[in-house]
Structure 1
Amino acid sequence: MAVEIRRARVADAEDYSKIRLEALRVAPAAFGSVHEDVAKFPTSRFEEQLRNGCYFLAYESGKVIGTSSYAQFSLNRRRHAGLYGMFVTPRWQGQGVAAELVNAVRQQARLGGYRELYLSVNPSMVRAVAFYEREGFRDTGEREPMRRDPSIALMTMKAAVEG
């Protein structure tokens, strides 16, 4: 398996939109966005996201197979690093691609001077929770309502950046 993980560029908007739409279609319970809404976005919307954010794409033989993103956010007046939008196409799950995508975000957080990395996950996504635990993430005990469905309480997890 020769998987390449790299930071997405604006020119990767088509690949990013493809993997994002696949993620929303395959794992709707994992994301706050809805496939039908995001499918209507013009390419320029994805270009803008890539221009202003920090996204990573996983490729195998030139085909996009996964994504993750890094963002900084404020919580209790402190700045934190977050892992968002994690997805690996089902055919490639369980083969180390997700761990490489997490590592790319960890490296970005390290460059930003952060010691901890946070994420939110739907606790019903048992395989995702188990994966994050293997990657060193632990449940903080905090819950937050999912944007698109406030009846779902997302689990907040954190891990050391040095993982």
Structure 2
Amino acid sequence: MSEISVRLLEEENWSEYRDVRLRALKESPEAFVASAEEEQSYEESRWRDRMQRSRRLLAEEGDTVLGVVSVGSHKIAEEGIGELFGLWVDPARRGSGVARKLLEAAAAQARADELKQLIYWVGTDNGRAVAFASSFGFRPTDSRRPMEIHGVDDAEDAEELAMVLPLSNSAGVPTSL
């Protein structure tokens, strides 16, 4: 078995990102705000715009795509704060270290982009994700928001919890949460 590698996708890699994003939306629709049906109709220009707004990191083993994660700060007003989002790992590879590799690469990219903290919104009922994020160094905060989920009937009361990962000596919680 070859080693898992993670690479940063550039704008010209938009179709690779599109393919894994649509795969993730189809496989785990409950984990995303958008739907595969909605996003598969997007034009190339929209995918390219997404590539410019946030960093997209792809986990691979040889030529096989194993997962993806995004890091961006375009929705956060506070300087030096980024958000980790869109984390997805192929179900056959969950629990095999792919998510950890993606988070390590995302944190390294955020540091390279001079971010001081990463926010990761996790479903409050997703104990496995909360435990995983905590094991990586994310700390839970008191910030909650309603979870936006497509195609899930019993999600009316679902909430997300903001978890924060300090990337520097800064230990505070962002004020914009």
Q: Same fold (TM over 0.5)?
A: yes
- How far apart are residue 106 of structure 1 and its match? 0.8
CA distance in 1: counterparts of 2:24 and 2:134, whole angstroms: 21
CA distance in 2: counterparts of 1:94 and 1:127, whole angstroms: 11
Provide closer, same or farther for how the CA distance between residues 55 and 36 of structure 1 changes in structure 2, counting only shifts above 3 A. same
Give yes or no for contact 1:30–1:125 (8 Å, CA) kept in 2.
no
- Of 135, 154, 158, the residue aligned with 2:164 is 158
Report the counterpart of residue 10 of structure 2 in structure 1.
9
Counting matched residue pairs gives: 162
Q: Give the aligned residue type for 1:124.
A: D
Per-residue CA deviations over 1:75-114 (Å, capped at 9, x if unaligned) read 5x55411111111111111111111111111112212333
CA distance in 2: counterparts of 1:86 and 1:127, whole angstroms: 14
Report the counterpart of residue 74 of structure 1 in structure 2.
76
- How far apart are residue 14 of structure 1 and its match? 2.3
Report the counterpart of residue 21 of structure 1 in structure 2.
22
CA distance in 2: counterparts of 1:100 and 1:145, whole angstroms: 29
Report the counterpart of residue 141 of structure 2 in structure 1.
140
Alignment TM-score, normalising by the size of structure 1: 0.86
- How far apart are residue 119 of structure 1 and its match? 0.9
Q: Give the aligned residue type for 2:140.
A: D
Larger radius of gyration: 2
- How far apart are residue 58 of structure 1 and its match? 0.9
Per-residue CA deviations over 1:114-151 (Å, capped at 9, x if unaligned) read 33211111223332222111111121021112345783
Q: CA RMSD in A?
A: 2.3
Structure (1 or 2) with the greater strand fraction? 1
CA distance in 2: counterparts of 1:79 and 1:12, whole angstroms: 26
- How far apart are residue 48 of structure 1 and its match? 2.4
1:7-156 equivalences under 5 Å are: 7-72=8-73, 73-74=75-76, 77-148=78-149, 151=156, 152-156=158-162
CA distance in 2: counterparts of 1:97 and 1:61, whole angstroms: 13
CA distance in 2: counterparts of 1:27 and 1:130, whole angstroms: 19
Give yes or no for contact 1:80–1:118 (8 Å, CA) kept in 2.
yes
Give yes or no for contact 1:116–1:161 (8 Å, CA) kept in 2.
yes
Give yes or no for contact 1:10–1:51 (8 Å, CA) kept in 2.
yes
Q: Percent identical across equivalent pairs?
A: 29
CA distance in 1: counterparts of 2:26 and 2:131, whole angstroms: 22
Provide closer, same or farther for how the CA distance between residues 47 and 114 of structure 1 changes in structure 2, counting only shifts above 3 A. closer
Provide closer, same or farther for how the CA distance between residues 13 and 113 of structure 1 changes in structure 2, counting only shifts above 3 A. closer
Provide closer, same or farther for how the CA distance between residues 29 and 129 of structure 1 changes in structure 2, counting only shifts above 3 A. farther
